[in-house]
Amino acid sequence: MAMNPDGTPGQHHILSVLVENKFGVLTRVAGLFARRGFNIVSLAVSPTEDERYSRMTIVVDADSAPLEQVTKQLNKLIPVIKIVELSSEQAVERELMLVTVKATAEARSQITELAAIFEARIEDVGYDSITIMVAGRPDKLDAMTDLLSPFGILELQRTGRIALPKLTRRPARLRAVKTSTA
Amino acid sequence: MKITGAQALIKSLEMEGTDVMFGLPGGAILPVYDPLIDSSIRHILVRHEQGAGHMAEGYAHATGRPGVAMVTSGPAATNVVTPLCDAYMDSIPLVMVTGQVPYSVIGTDAFQECDTVGITMPVTKHNWLVTDANDIPRIVREAFHVATTGRPGPVLVDLPKDIANQSMDWYWPESIDLPGYKPNLKGHAKQIKDAVRLMGESHRPVIYAGGGILKARAAETLRELAELTGFPVVTTLMARGAFPDDHDLCLGMPGMHGNYTAVTAMQQSDLLVALGSRFDDRVTGKLDGFAPEAKVIHVDIDPAELGKVRRPDVPIVGDCKYVIEEMVKATKADRAKTTPAEKRTGGRWPSLEEWMTRVHGWQRDFPLGYEQTDDGPLKPQFCIDMLRDNTPDDTIVASGVGQHQMWTSQRWKFNHPYTWVNSGGLGTMGFAVPAAIGAKVGKPERLVWAIDGDGCFQMTAQELVTASAERIPVKIAILNNAYLGMVRQWQELFYEERYSEVYLSPDLPDYVKWAEAMGCVGFRVDTPEDVVPTIEKANSIDDRPVVIDFRTDYREKVYPMVAPGTTNDEIILDPAHDKHGGR
């Protein structure tokens, strides 16, 4: 996550961008961000349920450019079909993290305990280090990173964020007819 | 019917109505040049690929049809980057075809290979690398569609040599399927209503007309709106000719070198009706001091322009022609609602009499000034005035970039749309000669003059060889002040007269000999009395290009000027002619 100079998390926006599944589309999107001076915090690209399209989940640093300009410029790219802006409250956001921490014999149990709390999995164990995989909301991954850092983080890799809109739980239609006696 | 990809490309260009293309062959594009021999398309062989691009732009400027150019791979493709970028900045419809090394060897650093699609991505509206000859008709159709609709712009089709040689079954697609490309032409009805409401409340309105008016073929409609409302109109550098300079409501060009009235009217207005303009930094000056009291109605076909620079009070996405027509209708309807009481006080909309009195006062008090003495050095402004006064009203004028461009834009009377061909956004020196050639090809019945600087001329003059060979009788007026004049002006005003690398010499090259070597007629003019007779001689020559070397006063500067980093309130008038003691 992009940090402000004082260490607090920077403002960000999530754009879910449906694009044509053709070569060069990622270059067009990335090139546009570079040319207009917009910063990408993270990026995840994958095919969708429809093989003609891919979905890019782009986390944009909101301080680098007004979001409106970002989406309007993105919309001008011909392979871009649809852009949905997701705020954190309206979206289910997930990320995956692999982290290798120093784990001497004495620290190992503390680390595995921590991993259990975070529902993380031990993916690899070395002589004096452990690789852990954890998935979840970005802030959960941040918290896990904070707690692991005293042990000594050797390597860390996070995927880009993926997100889908939250589902509505309202009934589809309000009925004028009484269906219940309660 | 089995044909090759190359044949399919030429056939597709014909299907799109291409009558002329500008280009230069080479290794990778060779297969396409072969079927060109049998095609109805006229090909104009340029001397440098940059010339092909600018000619295609000039053609598009003058005709409104897309300019088509074709060059080979590698260095040819990089040579067209400048015209592509120029067309991108000024929204000129351009279809560029480049050859590419065979698809099978792409990525191996083959001879004359370069990543054309990658290089031109940021300077085209869209581009395509053809990977299968069967896609060619579809891609060409899409390319013309994208180039000419919505906000127009350049597109590029990169065709590998083996794909050009591949055989395919000819077809012509009946429809275009671009799910991510749906330009919105019709402005939102409610927004248009809101716009007209603001217009009906304004006491100091200005219509700020941009190049979008010309792209939308909306000059007539704009005139109707202006005459209906009585709103004065400024025409930006890209919109010169979109509203006739002779019209009472025309204030001319605003901006860094705009006239005092146009700049000040915008600055003091309470409503800017921006139609197809984009609040360019050369128009606004220092942004936070620009038209501080004005509300803004902004109409543009490109949604990204709305709010990019200045937040509009009423944003309208749509085609200028359509939206202005709706504004005219809504204005008429709104005015028809006048109550008897309102009628007694002069109508529903505020009277603009006081505002127009102020505007006319500025026009009277702050005209553009220069002085030509009989025996003094030749003034560039005088040359332009004489050209203007000794050519037909519908003459097409092309220019390069710099002082000569600003003087021409300031002084010419553009009374018809599509008579001004220049490089606005990118500011491409060397634009004039090839652009004039392209314009003349598109409008052979018109007189086409390029007004060029000596610095600009030296960048692309070789295209006069093309013009001579192809019998394209353009006329070039070089305002030769022996300097990179605009740079010199900035060094004089902002760098304490420390002139760094701006002197070019009036005699080197010898422009008359150079013109003659290129098959043109060359003249030199040193004195004011020779100006008109030489122009008349040039106008009478119709079988070859003409070049006139006007030896002009290097000390002349372009005024008025809004210095960089200052607001439009701080406009500097020509100190030599400012009878108001400079402001």
- Listed in sequence order, the DSSP H helices in B470-544 are 485-494, 511-517, 528-540
- B121 contacts A31? CB cut-off 8 A: yes
Residue A9 pLDDT level (bands cut at 50, 70, 90): low
What number is the average pLDDT over the span A29-47?
89
Mode of pairing for the β-strands spanning A153-158 and A91-102? antiparallel
A78 touches chain B (CB under 8 A): yes
Interface check for B548 against chain A (CB to CB < 8 A): the answer is no
Q: Is residue A8's pLDDT more than 60?
A: no
Cβ <8 Å between B178 and A78: yes
More reliable by pLDDT, A172 or B360: B360
Task: Give the pLDDT score at B429.
Answer: 98
Out of 3.40.50.1220, 1.10.1450.10, 3.90.340.10, 3.30.70.640, the CATH code matching B189-365 is 3.40.50.1220
Kindly report the CATH number that applies to the domain delimited by A12-90.
3.30.70.260
Cα separation, B581 vs B577, whole angstroms? 9
**Which residue in A20, A72, A78 is closest to B304 by CB distance?**
A72
Residue B342's pLDDT is 75
Mean pLDDT of the B80-97 span: 98
Query: B126 vs A81: CB contact, 8 Å cut-off?
Result: no
Range(s) within chain B of domains with CATH label 3.40.50.1220:
189-365
A contacts of B302 (beta carbons < 8 Å): 76
The confidence score (pLDDT) of residue A10 equals: 58
SS3 of residue B560 by DSSP: coil
pLDDT at residue B335, as a whole number:
87
Task: Spell out the domain ranges in chain A.
Answer: 12-90, 92-165
Token duo for residue B363: 């026009």
- Statement: B2-169 belongs to CATH 3.90.180.10: no
Across A119-147, b (16+ Cβ under 10 Å) vs e yields ebeeeeeeeebbbbebebebebbeebbee
Q: What is the pLDDT of residue A5?
A: 47
A118-125 long-range contacts, CB within 8 A, separation 24+: A118/A143, A118/A144, A120/A144, A123/A98, A124/A100
Residue B516 CB coordination number (10 Å): 13
> What amino acid is encoded at B353 in this protein?
E
Give the pLDDT score at A101: 96
Which tokens sit at A17?
């961008």
Q: Mutation test of the interface with chain A: which of B181, B279, B306, choosing the one with the most A Cβ atoms within 10 A?
A: B181
pLDDT at residue A1 in the model: 44
Mean pLDDT of chain B: 96
* Euclidean distance between CA atoms B347 and B175, whole angstroms: 50
Mean pLDDT, residues B450-454: 98
Is B118 within 8 Å of A27 (Cβ atoms)? yes
Residue A155 has pLDDT above 90, yes or no: yes
Q: Which long-range contacts (CB under 8 A, 24 or more apart) does B25-28 make?
A: B25/B72, B26/B71, B26/B72, B26/B73, B26/B76, B26/B99, B26/B112, B27/B72, B27/B73, B27/B99, B27/B111, B27/B112, B27/B161, B28/B72, B28/B73, B28/B74, B28/B99, B28/B100, B28/B101, B28/B112, B28/B160, B28/B161
> Which CATH number does A92-165 carry?
3.30.70.1150
Q: Is A75 in contact with B178 (Cβ distance < 8 A)?
A: no
CB B244 within 8 A of CB B414: yes
Radius of gyration of chain B measured on its C-alpha atoms: 25
Q: What residues of chain B lie within 8 A of the CB of A76, using their CB?
A: 302, 304
Interface membership of B302 toward A (CB under 8 Å): yes
Could you give the ipTM of this predicted complex?
Answer: 0.87
> Which segments of chain B belong to CATH 3.40.50.970?
2-169, 380-558
| Pick from B329-333, B372-376, B395-399: least confident | B372-376
Which of A27, A68, A81 minimises the CB distance to B118? A27
What's the whole-number mean pLDDT along residues A96-119? 94
Interacting residues of A50 by C-beta distance below 8 A, sequence separation 6+: none
Q: Average pLDDT, stretch B232-259?
A: 98
Closest-approach residue (CA) in chain A for B150:
A76
**A12-90 and A92-165 agree in CATH topology:** yes
Which tens digit of pLDDT belongs to each residue from B432-448? Answer: 999 999 999 999 999 99
Which of B295-309, B330-344, B383-397, B463-477 is the least confident region? Answer: B330-344
Across the interface, whether the CB atoms of B146 and A78 are under 8 A apart is answered yes
pLDDT at B577: 66
pLDDT of residue A35: 86
| pLDDT for residue B27 is more than 90 | yes
pLDDT of A102 over the 70 cut: yes
* CA B380 centroid distance within chain: 22
Lowest mean pLDDT among B218-222, B268-272, B338-342, B358-362: B338-342
Q: What is the pLDDT of residue B378?
A: 97
The beta strands (E) that lie in B418-544 are given as 420-421, 448-453, 475-480, 521-525
By CB neighbour count within 10 A (0-12 exposed, 13-18 middle, 19+ buried), where does B446 fall?
middle
B107 touches chain A (CB under 8 A): no
- Whether the pLDDT of residue B256 is over 80: the answer is yes
B407 vs B338, which has greater pLDDT? B407
Instruction: Tell me if A77 and B180 make a contact (CB, 8 A cut-off).
Output: yes
Using pLDDT thresholds of 50, 70 and 90, give the confidence band for residue B527.
very high
The whole-number average pLDDT for the span B44-68 is 98
**Does A22 touch chain B if contact means CB atoms closer than 8 Å?**
no
The architecture of the domain spanning B380-558 is: 3-Layer(aba) Sandwich (3.40)
Please indicate whether, in this complex, the C-beta atoms of B117 and A81 are within 8 angstroms of each other. no
pTM reported for the whole predicted model: 0.92
pLDDT band for position A13 (cuts 50, 70, 90): confident
pLDDT tens, residue by residue, B103-155: 999 999 999 999 999 999 999 999 999 999 999 999 999 999 999 999 999 99
pLDDT band at B369 (very low <50, low <70, confident <90, very high): confident
Establish if B309 touches chain A: CB-CB under 8 angstroms. no
Q: B579 pLDDT band (50/70/90 cuts)?
A: low
